[in-house]
Amino acid sequence: MRYIETFKDGDRVSDIFLVKNKTLAMTKTGKEYENLILQDKTGALEGKIWDLTSGGIGEYDVLDYIDVHGLVTSFNGTLQLKIERLRKVSEGEYDPSDYLPVSRYDIGEMYSEFLGYMNRIENVFIKKLLESFFVEDEEIIKKFKSISAAKSIHHGFVGGLLEHSLGVTRLAGIFADTYEILNKDLLVATAMLHDIGKIKEFSPFPENDYTDDGNLLGHIVIGSEMVGEKIKNINNFPEKLSSQIKHCILSHHGELAYGSPKKPALVEAVALSMADNLDAKMETIKELFDSKENAQEWMGYNRLFESNMKRTTI
In the window 42-101, what residues touch a second copy (CB under 8 A)? 74
Shortest CB 187 distance to a second copy, Å: 9
Coil, helix or strand at residue 189: helix
**Binding segment for a second copy among 36-44, 93-101, 129-137, 174-182 (CB under 8 A)?**
174-182
DSSP annotation of 122: -
**Smaller CB distance to a second copy: residue 85 or 262?**
262
Residue 186 in contact with a second copy, rule: CB under 8 A: yes
Pick from 93, 256, 113, 257: nearest CA to 188: 113
Coil, helix or strand at residue 13: strand
Residue 10 in contact with a second copy, rule: CB under 8 A: no
List, as one string, the DSSP characters of 252-275. Answer: TT-SGGGT-SS---SHHHHHHHHH
Q: Which of 172, 182, 193, 199 binds a second copy (CB under 8 A)?
A: 182
Burial letters 235-272, b for 16+ CB under 10 A, else e: eebeeebbebbbbbbbbbbbeeeeebeeebebebbbbb
Give the contact letters, 199-238, x = binds to a second copy (CB under 8 A), - = no.
Answer: -----------x-xx-xxxx-xx--xx--x----------
Contact 192, 132 (CB under 8 A): no
Contacts (Cβ under 8 Å, ≥6 apart) of 261: 220, 221, 250
d(CA 126, CA 244): 11
Contact 57, 88 (CB under 8 A): no
Residue 127 in contact with a second copy, rule: CB under 8 A: no
Shortest CB 49 distance to a second copy, Å: 21
Shortest CB 210 distance to a second copy, Å: 8
Q: Which of 21, 93, 281, 291 binds a second copy (CB under 8 A)?
A: 281
Q: Applying CB under 8 A, which residues contact a second copy?
A: 9, 28, 74, 123, 167, 170-171, 174-175, 178-179, 181-183, 185-186, 210, 212-213, 215-218, 220-221, 224-225, 228, 240-241, 243-244, 246-247, 250, 256-268, 270-271, 274, 277-278, 281-282, 285-286, 289, 298, 305-310, 312-314
